[in-house]
């Protein structure tokens, strides 16, 4: 009898391991398919980049400026575009400014009006590969590049899923429930295929272009993402999204508790912190680096004032 029970138990364990292995393989295949799809979109978007040829000593032709102006006007509809473009000098700095301007055009087009006010929150991730695109920009700076067509060709169909309905983001990104919350816990229903173990989670920036979260959710059993702002846990305010099948009951904070403000994380900064600087947490952590010219302009602006710069200078520095 004991031998039979042991045999039955071994069979149950083997069956459980088989189910777990099948789920792991399925999730891995779905993630691989998703990554391939995003890479394909990234490659197609790369072909639409307006990158000014670098074999002309940094000169910008009037045709290139006009093309960029028309495209910006068609995609954003903002006033003052022609004035902005006309002020761009045709030296090396002007070339760089046009390239940066086109970078902004791409960001505005892919995010849509709903997210255009939150461009500062964009971060580089492995899946939404703005960073990879920027790397390609720098590595290929000595090669001939394709240019945008003129605005008269019409607005192109978005290639990143932005034509889909955006997934609404909660006003307070506290996820399903913070460990410190005393309110009734949130209940959610997972599809049978997603029940763990094994457990998995997929992380990305919350303020992704329209349709991205819908696409990711569709590849992962249609599980709804959990959006959390790290400002509730640490000194950096980072809005992130997670799709996972982890348990959400009986959550507890990780000990020791990390500092939640800049002063707590870096006490020595308090004596140098300007009185007009309201930030108590880092806006977010990004992999992009400000240019030397931008840093120099900020330094010059501050050096012309005393301890309290004008409101305009303050806004320029803080924004």
Q: What is the pLDDT of residue 65?
A: 56
Distance between CA atoms of residues 112 and 25, nearest Å: 35
Length of the chain equals 319
Digit-coded pLDDT (tens) for 80-115: 455 455 555 444 555 555 555 555 544 444 444 333
Asked whether residue 33 carries a pLDDT value surpassing 60, the answer given is: yes
Q: What is the pLDDT of residue 140?
A: 43
CA distances from 180 to 231, 234, 241, 251, 298 (A): 14, 14, 20, 9, 40
Digit-coded pLDDT (tens) for 245-303: 888 888 888 889 999 999 999 999 888 888 888 888 887 655 566 677 778 888 888 88
pTM of the full predicted structure? Answer: 0.46
Digit-coded pLDDT (tens) for 120-143: 334 333 333 334 444 443 444 334
Distance between CA atoms of residues 100 and 209, nearest Å: 19
Helix (H, G, I), strand (E, B) or coil at 205: strand
Q: For 272-295, give one letter per residue: b (16+ CB within 10 A) or e.
A: eeeeeeeeebbebeeeeeeeeeee
- DSSP β-bridge partners for residue 244: 201
Digit-coded pLDDT (tens) for 199-225: 888 888 888 888 888 888 888 888 989
Q: Give the mean pLDDT of 40-51.
A: 48
Helix (H, G, I), strand (E, B) or coil at 244: strand
- DSSP β-bridge partners for residue 202: 243
User: Do 188 and 195 touch, CB atoms closer than 8 A?
Assistant: no
CA 130 to chain centre: 8
User: Do 75 and 108 touch, CB atoms closer than 8 A?
Assistant: yes
User: Higher confidence at residue 57 or residue 190?
Assistant: 190
Asked whether residue 304 carries a pLDDT value surpassing 60, the answer given is: yes
User: Do 47 and 146 touch, CB atoms closer than 8 A?
Assistant: yes
């Amino acid at each position: 009898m004991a031998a039979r029970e042991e045999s039955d138990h071994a069979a149950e364990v083997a069956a459980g391991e088989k189910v777990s292995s099948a789920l792991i393989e399925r999730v891995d295949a779905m993630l691989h398919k998703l990554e391939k799809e995003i890479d394909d979109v990234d490659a197609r978007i790369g072909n639409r980049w307006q990158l000014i040829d670098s074999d002309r000593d940094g000169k910008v032709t009037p045709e290139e400026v006009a093309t960029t102006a028309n495209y910006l006007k068609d995609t954003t509809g903002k006033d003052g575009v022609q004035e902005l473009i006309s002020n761009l000098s045709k030296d090396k700095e002007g070339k760089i400014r046009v390239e940066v301007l086109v970078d902004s055009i791409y960001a505005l087009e892919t995010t849509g009006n709903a997210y255009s006010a939150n461009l500062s929150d964009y971060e580089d991730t492995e899946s939404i590969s703005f960073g990879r695109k920027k790397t390609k920009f720098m590595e290929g700076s000595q090669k001939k590049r394709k240019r945008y067509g003129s605005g008269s060709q019409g607005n192109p169909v978005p290639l990143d899923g932005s034509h889909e309905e955006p997934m609404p983001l909660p006003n307070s990104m506290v996820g399903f429930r913070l460990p410190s919350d005393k309110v009734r816990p949130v209940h959610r229903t997972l599809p049978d295929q997603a029940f763990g173990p094994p457990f998995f989670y997929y992380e990305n920036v919350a303020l992704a272009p329209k349709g991205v979260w819908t696409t990711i959710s569709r590849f992962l059993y249609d599980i709804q993402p959990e959006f959390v702002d790290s400002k509730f846990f640490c000194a950096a305010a980072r809005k992130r999204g997670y799709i996972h099948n982890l348990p959400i009951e009986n959550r507890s904070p990780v000990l020791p508790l990390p500092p939640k403000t800049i002063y707590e994380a870096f006490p020595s900064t308090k004596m140098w912190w300007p009185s007009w600087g309201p930030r108590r947490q880092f806006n977010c952590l990004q992999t992009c680096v400000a240019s030397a010219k931008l840093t120099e302009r900020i330094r010059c602006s501050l050096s012309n004032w005393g301890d309290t710069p004008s409101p305009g200078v303050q806004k320029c520095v803080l924004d």
